[in-house]
Amino acid sequence: MIPVYIFYSMFGFQRTGDAFWQAMDQMVRGFVLGATAGRTTLNGEGLQHEDGHSLLLASTNPAVQAYDPAYGYEIGHIVADGLRRMYGEEQEDVFYYLTVYNEPYPQPAEPEGVDVEGILAGMHLVSEGGGEGPRPQILASGVAVNWALDAQRLLREDWGVETDVWSVTSWNQLRRDALDAERHNFLNPLDEPHVPYVTRRLAGRGDLVVGVSDWMQSVQDQIRTWVPAEYRTLGTDGWGMSDTRGALRRHFLVDAESIVVRTLTGLAEQGRIERQDLAKAIDRYRLTDPSAADAGNTEGSG
C-alpha cells in the first residue's frame, strides 16, 4: 500500500508541518498532495485559504521532494519516479509533495519525445519562440504556465517580441541541485566543476529571464544565484482579496499582461526598447485596475 495524504490549501505544511518533520525522522515514504494550491486559484475564501508559501515551508524539510507541475503528463512522470525512488531497488527515505490546483483548464497531450529528464530535474521547455537567436526566457510553474503562454502570445502580437516558455516543475529541486553542485565544487577544487541544471539549460538562450508562479516571489528567487542572465520575478506577495481569479492575478501583478510588462521592463533596462513603451503598455493593459482583468472561470465553473 502506498500512503497518500491529500490536504486542503495551506493546512498541510502550515498546520500538519510538525507531523511532516516527524515523518522525515521516521523515514516515511509516500505522496503528499497539496490540493487547492496557490494564492489565486482558491479565490473568495480570504487569505486563510490563499496559499502562497507552502513551497517555501516544504523547502525546509530535507526529505520532501516538492513539485509544482502544470500538466497531468508531468504528474504521471513525477509519480512514476517517486514510486521508483521510494519503493524500487534503491528504497530512498524521501516523500513527495505535489501541488494540485483548484482551477479547471485544458490538459494537453504529452508531447512526442517529451523531456522526462527535465520534468524530474525541475524544468522543461514547453513553447519555443519563433525566429533564431537568443530571446527572453519565461519560467513559470503550475497554473502560471498558462499565464506565461498567454504572455508569449501577447508579446509576439502586440510588441513583436519572441520568447521561450518553460514549465518549472520544481523550483525547490532546481535549488537543491545547484546547492549540491556548489558543495561538490567547494570540496573538490581540482575536479571538473559541476554546473547546476538550471544554469546548463538557460546558458546561451538570452540575457533576460522572467520567473512567475502563483506563489510568493521567494519561491522563484530560490534559483536567482544560478540563472545566467538578468533575472526578474513576479509573485503573489502581500495581502490578497476575495474576488475573481482574474482580479486577484491583476492585483498581484502575475497575470499574462503583467508578465508582458515585466518582460518589456527588462528589455528597457537593457536599452533594447524605449521606456516610453512601458507606460504605454501599463495603460494599454490597465495594470493598476484589478477590475479590468478578465475574470476567467471562478471556482469550478468553466
Please give the grid coordinates belonging to residue 239.
495581502
Please give the grid coordinates belonging to residue 120.
524530474
Does the pLDDT value for residue 38 go beyond 60?
yes
Three-state DSSP class for 215? coil
Cα(225)–Cα(199) distance, integer angstroms: 9
Cα–Cα separations (whole angstroms), residue 254 to 87, 148, 237: 38, 9, 10
Q: Which of 25, 24, 33 is nearest to 6 (CA)?
A: 33
Instruction: Average the pLDDT over 290-302 and give the result.
Output: 74
* 92 is a domain residue: yes
Cα(120)–Cα(108) distance, integer angstroms: 18
Instruction: Average the pLDDT over 42-54 and give the result.
Output: 82
Does the pLDDT value for residue 301 go beyond 60?
no
* 108 is a domain residue: yes
Residue 285: burial class (beta carbons within 10 Å; 0-12, 13-18, 19+): buried
The pLDDT score that the predictor gives to residue 302 is: 45
Q: Which of 48, 82, 265, 61 is nearest to 169 (CA)?
A: 82
CATH code for position 56: 3.40.50.920
The pLDDT score that the predictor gives to residue 167 is: 98
Does the pLDDT value for residue 300 go beyond 60?
no
Cα(103)–Cα(300) distance, integer angstroms: 7
Task: Report the chain's mean pLDDT, rounded to a whole number.
Answer: 94
Cα(277)–Cα(286) distance, integer angstroms: 14
Q: Which of 131, 121, 113, 134 is nearest to 203 (CA)?
A: 134
Cα(178)–Cα(194) distance, integer angstroms: 9
Q: Does the pTM of the predicted model rise above 0.85?
A: yes
Cα(46)–Cα(175) distance, integer angstroms: 31
Q: Give the pLDDT confidence of 136-169 residue by residue, as tens digits.
A: 999 999 999 999 999 999 999 999 999 999 999 9
Cα(38)–Cα(213) distance, integer angstroms: 8
Please give the grid coordinates belonging to residue 296.
476567467
* 302 is a domain residue: no
Residue 118 burial (CB count, 10 A) = 20
Number of domains in the chain: 1
The pLDDT score that the predictor gives to residue 299 is: 57
- Residue 207: φ, ψ to 5°: -110, 20
**Confidence bin at 134 (pLDDT 50/70/90):** confident
Which range of 11-15, 65-69, 287-291 scores highest in mean pLDDT? It is 65-69
Percent of the chain with pLDDT over 70: 98
Packing angle, helices 245-252 and 256-269, rounded to 10: 20
Instruction: Average the pLDDT over 87-109 and give the result.
Output: 94
* 299 is a domain residue: no
Please give the grid coordinates belonging to residue 98.
505535489
The pLDDT score that the predictor gives to residue 43 is: 80
Instruction: Average the pLDDT over 247-260 and give the result.
Output: 96
The pLDDT score that the predictor gives to residue 132 is: 84
> Pairing mode, if any, of strands 164-167 and 124-127?
antiparallel
> Pairing mode, if any, of strands 31-35 and 4-8?
parallel
Instruction: Average the pLDDT over 212-221 and give the result.
Output: 98
Please give the grid coordinates belonging to residue 122.
525541475
The pLDDT score that the predictor gives to residue 298 is: 67
* 301 is a domain residue: no
* 298 is a domain residue: no
Q: How many helices (H) and strands (E) does the chain have?
A: 11, 9
Domain around 165: 4-292
Residue 162, sorted as left (phi over 0), alpha (psi -120 to 50) or beta, turns out to be: beta
The set of residues, in sequence order, having a beta carbon less than 8 Å from that of 51 and lying 6+ positions away, is 9, 10, 34, 36, 37, 38, 39, 42
The pLDDT score that the predictor gives to residue 208 is: 98
